[in-house]
Structure 1
């Protein structure tokens, strides 16, 4: 006979999830004498989606600190169909500290998946891929497309430039013909299963991590 008084595995984790608090509460006094800290956060607590090192910091102070160590790659996403994956790409760009984020096409994009991380990035809008390519050329940064279509070179064997713009298409259609024309190279991601493509947000994360493994030091 089973002992019904013993909680099941799922029940054990349920109560942990209910009791878990996100972030930190009010900072104990005396407060740190540092202009980077926000008095309101010190008093009320900091529940934002930031790493512990930035707890209680002003938003502007966090952005300023990130600007001192952003990486040499930028991320660009085509936005012709209001793709919900864009928010996920932006969130990953923040995690890997992209030098900039670029939205190509429609100015409005679905921010839900970004989890407010776009506030810590420099986000620019471009009406077309040609406009993005001109901007990148002005910075001396080649545009590297990511797409699994014939003609693409394997990302696994391609040496990503230290300074570049990684350009991603939308879920389903991938990169547009205009993107292929303006890209210095287009890289594919190796797949071994039955599906013809992977989620656009996942593809972006793989490509950014490939750059990090090649050019970035320890976090």
Structure 2
């Protein structure tokens, strides 16, 4: 039996840490209150005791060049989970298209570390992407879509997702440079929207990102 390779980024704790023991570190990235009281935030060990601003600045220096866009016509509860996945896969920016307000519960506070922009309409998103020469890749299982497993995702792009249930609007499909779907093998017509988004982002990572090392 083959022994699996260990994770390249093992986390020493998942429940936070208490007050700093010993002499305090002197780097500008550290937060005095967190050093004094402990850090129970949902962050990796590397960022323990760092200020939020320092974490965002460090993430900004390494962000991947793909964006995530989500249509928000029905206050979809999946949007928060998609933002959390975008943070995990280090997306450049999340774009909320439609209603400005969205349910942040599923984001688990990761929206504080993830850039989020709002666009009133699909046309506004298309104009924004066009100005930056970013192709829009829609993810939906509609006629004419191709399997994401066989599709080469552009390194710089916008991954566009729709609402749970109705999926992307006709306007969004028409605006996309390509439409891809995730291969399925069971009886259900579709998978959860936030799960689909995570799969698509991971597909981008597999194609374009260097894996983390110890």
Relative to the length of structure 1, the TM-score reads 0.90
* Residue equivalent to 2:65: 72
Aligned to 1:82: 75
The runs of at least 4 consecutive aligned structure 1 residues that moved more than 2 Å come to none
Partners of 2:176 and 2:19 lie apart in 1 by 49
Counterpart-to-counterpart distance in 2, 1:150 and 1:143: 17
Residues of 1 paired with 2:64 and 2:191: CA distance? 25
Q: Which deviations, in whole Å up to 9, do the C-alpha atoms of 1:128-168 show, x marking residues without a partner?
A: 11101111111111000000111111111110000000000
Distance 2:29 2:130 in 1: 35
Q: Measured at CA, do residues 171 and 51 of structure 1 come closer, stay the same or move farther in structure 2, by a change above 3 Å?
A: same
Aligned runs of 1:102-113 on 2, under 5 Å? 102-113=95-106
Aligned mates of 1:201, 1:126 — CA distance in 2: 20
Higher helix proportion (structure 1 or 2): 1
Largest Rg, 1 or 2: 1
| Alignment size in residue pairs | 200
Q: Bigger shift: 130-139 or 51-60?
A: 130-139
Query: Which of 116, 121, 127 is the matching residue for 1:128?
Result: 121
**SS of aligned partner of 1:134:** helix
CA distance in structure 2 between the aligned counterparts of 1:158 and 1:22, rounded to whole angstroms? 39
Aligned-pair distance for 1:21? 7.6
Consecutive unaligned residues of structure 2, counting only runs of 5 or more, are: 1-12
RMSD: 1.0
CA distance in 2, matches of 1:140, 1:42: 44
